[in-house]
Amino acid sequence: MTSTTPPAPAMTRPSRSAPRRPSPVPLLARLIIWGGGAAVLALWWRDTPSVVGAAGWLTGAGRITGLLAGYACAVLLLLMARVPLLDRAVGTDRLARWHALGGRYTISLVCAHVLLIIWGYALESHTGPVNQTTTLVLHYPDLLKGTIGFLLFLVTAIVSARAVRRRVPYETWHLLHFATYLAVFLAFGHQLSNGADFTGNRPARMVWYTLYIAVAALLAWYRFTVPVHRALRHRLYVTEVRPEAPGVVSVYLSGSRLAELRADPGQFFRWRFLTRGLWWAANPYSLSAAPHPAYLRITVKASGGHSAALARLRPGTRVLAEGPYGAFTARHRRARKTLLLGGGVGITPLRTLFETLPGEVILVYRARRPEDLALRAELDGVAAARGAAVHYVVDEPAAWSSPLTAGALRDLVPDLAERDVYLCGPPGMAQAALRALRAAGVPRRRIHHESFAL
C-alpha cells in the first residue's frame, strides 16, 4: 500500500445527454404501497361477516390497525433496504422522508392496535384492562415476544422524535435505530399465531410469509452482502487529508477497480473509517470531485465528533464504503438550463454537477464568510473552463450579502423559472430556498433537493 499524493481533480467534460422524462418508478412505488394497504383491508373485510356490540367494534378496529401496522413494518424496512432501482429513481433522501412519515403512522397504528385489542377483549371477557393485559401477555402464544417488540418500537419512536433527535448524535441514533429489526422480528410471530385473519387462512399466511421473507432477503443482500463484497473487491484506503477552509477538509481515497463502482456525479457513499473511534459508524458524505478511476474524494465540514475526527485521519487508513446512493444526478434533469444553489458544505455534490452537467449552468454558492467558501479555486476553474457563471453570496461583509428571497434569486438568475434547480445545503437554508424558488415560479417537479437530514 502506498500513500502518494493524489493529483488535483481532473476536469471532466460536461455530459451531452438530453433532459429525460420523469421516471415512473416513484408513482408506481406509491401505487403498489397503497394497493398493498387496500389488500390488507380487503383481507379483514373478507374474514369479518359481521360486527356486533362495542366489544366487536373495538376488537375489529384492533384487528385492522394490527394488520396495517404489520404491513407498514414490511414497507418501512423495504424503503430502507437500499435497493438500487428505488434509490436511483426515487432518491435516498426522499425514501428517508417516506420512511420517517410512514414510521409515525406505523407507531400510531401499533399503539392503537394494542389499546383497542386490550379494551375490546376486556369488554368481551368482563375483566379490567390490567387483568386482560396480563392474560394476553402471559397466556397467548408469542405475545410476550410481541410485547417486547412493542416496547422497542416505543423506544425507537421516542429517540426519533424531533425534540430528541436534534440532541442525539447521528451515530447514536443510527445505531439505536437497528432495534427496529429486532422489534419486527419479535412481533412477527404473534401476527400469525394470534391474528384471526391468519389462523384459519393458509393462503393469507403464505402471502404474509412471502412478503416478510422477500423484504428480509433484500435487506440481507443490499445492506450486508453487497457492502462486504465491495469492501473486499475495492479495498479502499485514505491517501491524503487536505484542508480546504476553516473546519473543512477533503479526504482523498484510493483502491482497486474504482471504475466498477459506477458512481454518478452528485451521489454519496456511506463511509466507515476503520480506525479508533470511527470504525463503528457509517456516515453519508457526497463525492466532491467527479469519480476518477484512480481516486475518490469527499469534502467534510466539522459539525460533530465524527466529521471533526476526519481531519486527523492518517494515510493508509482502511475504509469501507457503501454505495453509491442518491438520485441527485443529471438523470433527473428536465430542462436544458440549470441553477445549482448551495450553502455551506452542501457545495460538495454541486461541485461535481457544476463540472459535468450539460447545457447552461449557473452556480450560486452561499456561505457565512468569504473564507468559508470551500473549493472556491476549483469552482472558479470550472466556471472558466466551461464559460459558466458562479455567484458567491456571504453574510459577512454586508456588501456581499443578499437575502434568500425570490426577488434576490431572480436578480442573480433572471430566467430562474425556466431552469432546473439542484439545491443542497443545511436544513434552514434549504427550507428558505425552497420557499423562495416556489415563489419565483419554479415548478416543484424541477427542484431537486439533497437533504442533510437523513
Beta bridge partners of 268: 286, 325
pLDDT (average), residues 171-186: 81
Q: What is the pLDDT of residues 189-223, one digit of tens each?
A: 888 888 888 888 899 999 999 999 999 999 999 99
- Is pLDDT at 146 greater than 50 in this prediction? yes
Return the higher-pLDDT residue of 362 and 305: 362
Quick one: which of 330, 360, 335, 340 has its CA closest to 409?
Answer: 340
What cell was used for 84?
A: 438500487
What cell was used for 171?
A: 451515530
Dist. CA 147–CA 113, nearest whole Å: 12
- Is pLDDT at 8 greater than 80 in this prediction? no
Quick one: which of 201, 311, 320, 187 has its CA closest to 246?
Answer: 311
- Is pLDDT at 331 greater than 80 in this prediction? yes
Dist. CA 351–CA 244, nearest whole Å: 13
Dist. CA 286–CA 284, nearest whole Å: 7
Residue 65's pLDDT band (cuts 50, 70, 90): very high
Dist. CA 391–CA 217, nearest whole Å: 47
What cell was used for 169?
A: 448524535
Four-residue CA torsion sign, 279, 162, 36, 86: negative
Type and span of the H or E element at 97 = helix 92-125
Q: What is the pLDDT of residues 373-414, one digit of tens each?
A: 999 999 999 999 999 999 999 988 877 788 899 999 999 999
Q: What is the reported pLDDT for 214?
A: 96
Q: What is the reported pLDDT for 1?
A: 41
Cα angle vertex 114, ends 108, 119, to 5°? 120
Residue 3's pLDDT band (cuts 50, 70, 90): very low
pLDDT (average), residues 13-31: 72
Q: What is the reported pLDDT for 9?
A: 62
Q: Are 319 and 261 in contact (CB under 8 A)?
A: no
Residue 16's pLDDT band (cuts 50, 70, 90): low
pTM (two decimals): 0.81
Residue 138 CB: number of other CB atoms within 10 A?
10
